[in-house]
Amino acid sequence: MSPVPLAGSAPTRARFSFEVFPARSGAAALALGHAVQHLSAAGPDFISVTYGANGSNRDASLDLLRYLRDHTDALPLAHLTTVGESRDAVRETIHRIMDAGVHDFLALRGDPPRGLDEGAPAVAGSLSSRELVELIAEARAERPPLTSVGRTSVAAYPNGHPLSRSRSEDIDWLVAKQEAGAQFAITQLFFRAEEYLSFVNDAQRAGLRIPVLPGLMPVSTSAQLRKVASLAGRPAPEGLTRALDEAGGYAPELGVEHTLELARELLAGGAPSVHLYTFNRHEQVLSVLRELELLTPDPVA
């Protein structure tokens, strides 16, 4: 059985979306402004903005969401985490984001802040992503009629959440998020198509009906590859590791090649679209989409 297509659409051509994160300096912000113009011109379903990831400033996420809304044609989607925040504070943030004209969310619990572990009261007492899905729905219902729009997505872990003891636990967790109202899911990074396809297949057998967008990142450096491997919870493919090392640790074309192959297998296997982690660069992800013949028109050409 193949994964379900995006609800309400019968795409003849696969779709795509992007993830960016707030810039950490003025120079990086300039480069990011340039990158998001190219990304937006490619016509993605949405561009998502990370929130507080790796200690980044949360206000900077809102600024970037506003920039996307005001200066691009792309639909901005806000990642939102609950870790270390009270229910009231999270509710207020949801309204601030909606006041900024952004109504689409990726509901997350978030990683423990530096220095705290999963057992710390500030972490263990945080709302779960399932509860956040419900809180976003409540906040939407508090908006004036006709402005309570938007979709809520959640994270999925094809290779298991780091704390998961079994695949069935991961699937139960994801189905619970669907039951709370999540409309689609985006996956953690992974390296092999089979990891996504078998996870979605098993989840659908267990009652998952929402689309699951595979998250992919074309790496440019050996350091990025190591980071992806730690997120994926699986070793990086040996051939890619070796080729990057032999190239001196920097070879964007190798990441593009690997992502392209993976995307082809995923789309052929029934994935509804691809969600590309851009690392705030447009060149590699647009190369992947160009090779997949998904760019019409091509914003760089």
Footprint of ligand FAD on 3-62 (CB under 6 A): 50-53
Query: What is the number of alpha carbons within 13 Å of residue 197 lying toward its C-beta?
Result: 15
Output 135 or 186, the one with its CB closest to ligand FAD.
Answer: 186
148 lies in the site for ligand FAD, by CB under 6 A: no
Segments in the chain forming alpha helices (H):
26-41, 58-71, 87-99, 121-124, 129-141, 167-180, 193-205, 222-232, 238-246, 252-268, 283-291
Taking the least distance from each CB to ligand FAD, the nearer of 113 and 249 is 113
Residue 129 as a binder of ligand FAD (CB under 6 A): the answer is yes
Residue range at the interface with ligand FAD (CB under 6 A); choices 22-30, 105-113, 141-149, 266-274: 105-113
Handedness of CA 80, 85, 90, 93 (dihedral sign): negative
**Shortest reach from residue 250's CB to ligand FAD, in Å:** 25
| Alpha carbons 192 and 279: distance in angstroms, whole number | 20
What is the footprint of ligand FAD within residues 107-126 (CB under 6 A)?
A: 108-111, 118
When the beta carbons of 14 and 213 are compared against ligand FAD, the nearer one is: 213
- Residue list 237-296, contact with ligand FAD (CB under 6 A): none
Of the two residues 161 and 226, which places its CB atom closer to ligand FAD in the complex? 161
Show the tokens assigned to 164.
Answer: 């998961």
Of 74, 98, 133, 155, the residue at the interface with ligand FAD (CB under 6 A) is 155
Shortest CA distance to 48 belongs to which of 223, 218, 184?
184
Contacts 24+ apart (CB under 8 A), 124-130: 126/82, 126/83, 126/84, 126/85, 127/82, 127/85, 127/87, 127/90, 128/82, 129/82, 129/154, 129/155, 129/177, 130/154, 130/173, 130/176, 130/177, 130/180
Q: How far is the CB of 275 from ligand FAD (least distance, A)?
A: 7
The smaller minimum CB distance to ligand FAD, of residues 187 and 244, is found at 187
Asked whether position 227 contacts ligand FAD by CB under 6 A, the answer is no
CB of 199 to ligand FAD, least distance (A): 12
Q: What is the contact surface with ligand FAD in residues (CB under 6 A)?
A: 50-53, 79, 81, 106, 108-111, 118, 128-129, 155, 161, 163-164, 169-170, 173, 186, 188, 215
